[in-house]
């Protein structure tokens, strides 16, 4: 897992979804996108949606990203804006716990599980759910992404 941080939130992304990490690029707003979608950035020549990890996970203020983490979601790409990348860590697959029923719909469904990382809470993200399908459809209509 790639461990990222935004504000006080620690998040884990499966390495098999991570394409690269990079410095933040200019982002153009995208009308009609959810509040956690900052807009589109041109990454490797392709318009790519950029998600503010803090807003996705419930922070009130946008993150001050120092890194973008580009994720592969099938044929699609999405960049996650984070305040820091802390490194990689291997976890036992049975260590993560499913979300309690009250939290299943939280964070647009992007949180797959929770676990403890030393003495703090860590959320495990599902790359496939970071951008809702309806947003992908809107991007495709406007020529932003497949």
Q: Check whether 28 has a pLDDT greater than 80.
A: yes
- Range with lowest mean pLDDT among 51-55, 87-91, 96-100: 96-100
Whether 114 maps to a domain, the answer reads yes
Whether 61 maps to a domain, the answer reads yes
Whether 70 maps to a domain, the answer reads yes
- For the chain, the domain total comes to 1
**Strand residues in 83-135 grouped as ranges (E):** 84-88, 97-98, 111-117, 120-125
Residues in the chain: 146
Q: Where are the alpha helices (DSSP H) in 4-145?
A: 53-56, 133-141
Three-state DSSP class for residue 13: strand
**pLDDT for res 101:** 54
Whether 146 maps to a domain, the answer reads no
pTM of the complete model: 0.80
Q: Is residue 59 a contact partner of residue 9, using CB atoms and an 8 Å limit?
A: yes
- Range with lowest mean pLDDT among 65-69, 104-108, 130-134, 138-142: 104-108
- CA 11 from centroid of its chain's CA atoms: 9
* CATH code (residue 85): 2.40.50.180
128 contacts: CB under 8 Å, gap ≥ 6? 73, 74
13/61 Cα distance (integer angstroms): 22
Q: Where are the alpha helices (DSSP H) in 28-84?
A: 53-56
Whether 16 maps to a domain, the answer reads yes
**pLDDT, mean of residues 77-103:** 76
Q: Check whether 22 has a pLDDT greater than 70.
A: yes
**pLDDT, mean of residues 41-60:** 91
Give the range of the structural domain holding residue 107, as residue numbers without chain letter.
2-141
**pLDDT, mean of residues 47-73:** 91
Q: Is residue 63 a contact partner of residue 6, using CB atoms and an 8 Å limit?
A: yes
**pLDDT for res 3:** 93
């Amino acid at each position: 897992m790639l461990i990222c941080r935004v504000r006080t939130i620690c998040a884990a992304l499966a390495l098999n979804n991570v394409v690269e990490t990079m410095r933040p690029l200019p982002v153009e707003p995208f009308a009609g996108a959810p509040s956690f979608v900052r807009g589109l950035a041109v990454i490797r020549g392709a318009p790519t949606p950029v998600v503010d990890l803090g807003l996705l996970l419930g922070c009130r203020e946008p993150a001050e990203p120092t890194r973008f983490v580009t994720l592969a979601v099938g044929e699609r790409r999405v960049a996650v804006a984070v305040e820091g990348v802390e490194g990689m860590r291997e976890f036992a697959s049975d260590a993560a716990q499913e979300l309690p029923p009250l939290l299943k719909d939280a964070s647009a469904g992007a949180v797959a599980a929770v676990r403890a990382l030393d003495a703090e809470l860590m959320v495990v993200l599902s790359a496939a759910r970071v951008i809702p399908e309806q947003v992908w459809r809107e991007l495709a209509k406007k020529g932003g992404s497949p």
